[in-house]
Amino acid sequence: MRIMGLDYGSKTVGVAVSDGLSVTAQGVEIIRRKEENKLRRTLARIEELILEYDVQEIVLGCPKHMNGTEGVRVERTNEFKDKLERRTGLPVTLWDERLTTVEADRTMTEAGIRRENRKDHVDMIAAVLILQGYLDRRNRE
């Protein structure tokens, strides 16, 4: 069974997909949009990827504050979760994404990716980290 990981942002969505055994996460792409509320094409592309990779479940990063409280980004993420569930018919699990962007940046630094090129990859790497965290927890239980 393949699982999709999403890092939902105001203008991008990083996408990762698990291998067939749901052990490892691989980055797929970053879906970009011009305006935050224009989600039709974003949702359509996610649907295409679900079909292409035969995805059965979605994990969506939930951007809580460092102290665990929820802000406006969490509200928007919950709205996106509802749209994903309605449109795809798949279960969507929220996953705490605190520090994934920091970890993604550190990973790119260690990989030697130049600072000016990191913004081109950070959302996809964050999606990989979100999904891998979920897979690791799931496989331990």
* CATH code where residue 83 lies: 3.30.420.140
* 3-class DSSP state of 59: strand
pLDDT in tens, 123-133: 888 899 999 99
Q: Which domain holds residue 20?
A: 2-140
Number of domains in the chain: 1
The identity of residue 111, as a single letter, is A
Residue among 13, 4, 74 at smallest CA distance from 40 = 13
Percent of the chain with pLDDT over 90: 57
pTM value is: 0.88
Number of H helices, E strands in the chain: 5, 5
Place of tokens 């949009």: 33
Structural element, H or E, at residue 85: helix 72-88
Structural element, H or E, at residue 133: helix 122-140
pLDDT in tens, 33-68: 988 778 999 999 999 999 999 999 999 998 875 666
